[in-house]
Chains A and B, each alone.
Chain A
Amino acid sequence: MLGRTLREVSAALKQGQITPTELCQKCLSLIKKTKFLNAYITVSEEVALKQAEESEKRYKKGRSLGDLDGIPIAVKDNFSTSGIETTCASNMLKGYVPPYNATVVQKLLDQGAVLMGKTNLDEFAMGALGSDTGGSTRNPAAHCGVVGFKPSYGLVSRHGLIPLVNSMDVPGILTRCVDDAAIVLGMLAGHDPKDSTTIQDPVKPFTLPTLTDVSKLCIGIPKEYLAPELSGEVRSFWSKAANLFESEGAKVIEVSLPHTSYSIVCYHVLCTSEVASNMARFDGLEYVLGDKEEEPLRTVSQNVNIGQKCHRCDINVSTEAMYAATRREGFNDVVRGRILAGNFFLLKENYENYFIKAQKVRRLIANDFVKVFNSGVDVLLTPTTLRGAAPYLEFIKEDNRTRSAEDDIFTQAVNMAGLPAVSVPVALSNLGLPIGLQFIGRAFCDQQLLKIAKWFEKQVQFPVIQLQELMDDGSSISEIEKLASVSLKH
């Protein structure tokens, strides 16, 4: 049951083959068994069981709320969840319990979804695992063999999504199949008065039509995406995919996105600038800084010589020193590095040369896509990542900036242009790890994009991971656990 698609599970619930509570408990059990993976920061067991119970009542009365009623969901820990700790995986927000739900969370709960918990991420989403600002829904999806969908910017509300880069952030959807992603999108998309950057029109849930004939499609292959670091395997799957479309009658052409090579640098300037601004509110005063709440104050009073000038200046001096101390404690190196860089770019003397320049380059990058789509291309087909997931030891060798520069290379220009994109799992690598490919669509043509992705998914028939086997076979779990704990110590 846990490996089925949303529709299948929903049907099973409706037919009474399984109850929401049973489903919820199976999920909780699997979460417990895979705890060593550290995928969840908070597991909201009580809340989930209560929601499952209510869903069950509705099913018994024959009054289910829809396709999502009773379905277990997980939400990344940078979405605000009322009454449930939301930390962004940072010490700065440790213990912070928001009083409100993000709009997308509320919409899912209104549909009867069962919230299992808050999932892990890089601190404040500044790594490969972020919400989709640079690719962090699509990249992990590719590495894990699931569908990762990034909607068009402005289609889904960001209210309650703790921001990284306001002008690029988008709530991303991770599901087992494209159809499921479409179902969820139908529930989440549309105008939110609380988010002024959402489109004006409401969006109705839709059923994704099944594409049978691709002969009228034009698929674009951006030549700049043929990076030298691209692994042979990924390149080969990319080729095969292109050939697949061609053999089914679609037009497959090479296109050019000439400013691709500037996008990483441009992204870093804009990202760090917005980050510096968004992190300004985290001064360690308002959000409980865990046990360390007392410490920063003590440090400051030891180090700062109060009593010289006027009282107001004293407060200024000690407040600033206190902010500096708590921000040092509350943020990790990556976050601090980005804040410092961002503030540098925003200084009066640098603003023109860095921030404004980057905005101009961003426009050029976005225009690249516009030109290509205007020339008759329906979607672009690209790799999602350079290669399959790296083993942990290799992963920790490079610093965060290099790593994310590499990981985001195919995904991040999409965020700059605000376009919709989806990563679809294609095949397993020689090491048995998943590899995905990315489709990029026109702005606000999310449905069409998903339609094409769904067709492709059907052709590829990627094997779904058999969790049930893993769960039943107790010995292999403990082996994995041992291995995991060894590498984590490094």
Chain B
Amino acid sequence: MKSLTLLLLLVFSLSIPNSLSFQSDELLIEDEEFVKSPDLSRPSISPLTRKTVSDSGSDSKVQFVLEHAFGDSEFTPAGTFSARLKTWSHGGQTLTKLRFSRKDLSREDKESFKTLLEGDDFYRIRVPSNVISPPGRDYIISSVKARCLPQTGLDEHFVIHMDGVNILGVNYGSLAVCQYPRQYKLPSKWAFTSHTVLKSTEQAPRTPAFSEDIGSTEIGGEDEGVKPLERSFWAKYWMYLIPLGLIVMNAVTQAMNMPEEQAGGQPASQPQQVNGPLPRGPGSRR
């Protein structure tokens, strides 16, 4: 029995960092510390048992309710999120170790869900925007086309974006591809498989700051004046240079065919060759 608990503990301690992999490293280290304290992880192994654990030091347990609505019906409680509220020494508060337990769907719920599936309507959920003093300023609503949920069971994924104790938004839906037109399909099992992920904000990468290289950029910037001139010369006058080249080549082949003493035809092409580089240069040369 004891070994079983230990095993469970181990499994749990391994699973926690995974589920929180979206958080920054800083938080993760703290989380692992909590996992080591044995009495915290145990009650939450089974998702259906809910228990408020006594506060230990600076963290406490919070719970908030998930409500759902079928189409345009009223919102009714659908489950409870429970999490650990960690108060930091500098006054900030963060949620960790979020767990979710869903109520079983009642008969009416199943009926309403079926009508949703038939009508390809929205299944809507909402959570409070503040977990300490629900509902906060307003509810966070999220909805999904009901036909997106049924897989083998009812598959749902919550990605909750948090800022301290505030919930900003919930990405709700299933993993499956779900494009229009959606197929009407009843779930084989009327139970939700829920997955939850907590997300907090990312830090923006810092602007690179290096002083020496600025100098080299500027040098590069100064020298640039020469190159484009050369390029634009070719780019601008290729249509004259190519025929000129052809003429020259033509003349040369002519000359090759001719015996040495009879060079009478050549002088005509020579002056043109001299004229070649003369055409108007780019504006700056004038």
Judge: A and B partners, yes or no.
no
